[in-house]
Structure 1
């Protein structure tokens, strides 16, 4: 078997102590995640983060920094994901825009509201990225070389 890690992006968006999340159906269960998804061919990491956020939440965002780079192996299927987590600010909402298949909504929650629902996290990275964002440092976008 050939091992192929999956490259993904995620975006932490904060507005007055609330964070933008994606509520999605995964294996018949509603889970919470950052706006996140896979890098597509001929796309930069930055482009992927902006695109995924719009597709999953209906929000245009401006990237402001990098929280970190994470390696995660899903216990359900053994697939390894490399996640590049960005920070962004919400710029414009498109409330009439259809969201990606499986996305139920895009709620804004506080860190504590998220922490109270561990059974709803898509993975432990959901809270870890928020906590790393809050603890800092946030790295310059210049660390990402497209």
Structure 2
């Protein structure tokens, strides 16, 4: 008689992340963070939580890492990459967002040293201190005018509104 126990499928699952390109004139909102014992620079970014929409995650991560409340304006792009930090695949949804308000007293996420505003040239000069090549890729896509409607995103999740 055959064993009725189903065989579990091995399914590859990438890390799903979100990031926000927030521009103020020629400067972009960045975070300085400690990652695996080194100082790195990134856009406000992080992982999608279970039962959370991509848009909600992007707004949440930006607030948690910078103290800035933002309003999403566009989807810049969806980027696939293999992380040099952990070796896993990453699918990153990059958004363009407008800064709405700042809470300078808000405690930032663990590992985040500070939020700062830098020009594209200052960001490029950071070289290997950038958390990933997706930082400049998404800024350059935004500078080139790459903007897609947020109407491309659909979430069938029941979630609490954020913030």
Fold match, TM over 0.5? Answer: yes
Give the structure 2 partner of residue 132 of structure 1: 141
Runs of 4+ deviating beyond 6 Å: none
Asked if residue 65 in structure 1 is aligned to residue 74 in structure 2, the reply is yes
3-state SS of paired residue (2:135): helix
Aligned to 2:60: 51
Question: How many pairs were matched up?
Answer: 146
In structure 1, how many angstroms separate the alpha carbons of the residues matched to 2:23 and 2:11?
Answer: 39
Q: 120, 130, 137: which one pairs with 1:121?
A: 130
Q: Distance in 1 between matches of 2:92 and 2:128?
A: 21
TM-score by length of 2: 0.87
Q: Name 2:86's counterpart in structure 1.
A: 77
Query: For 2:38, which of 26, 29, 32 is the aligned residue?
Result: 29
The one-character-per-residue Cα deviations of 1:48-105 (angstroms, maximum 9, x if unpaired) are 0000000000000000001100001013432111000000000000000000000000
1:137 is displaced (CA, Å) by 2.2
Larger Rg: 2
Normalising by structure 1, we get a TM-score of: 0.96
My pick for the range that moved more, 73-82 or 113-122, is 73-82
- Is 1:15 aligned with 2:15? no
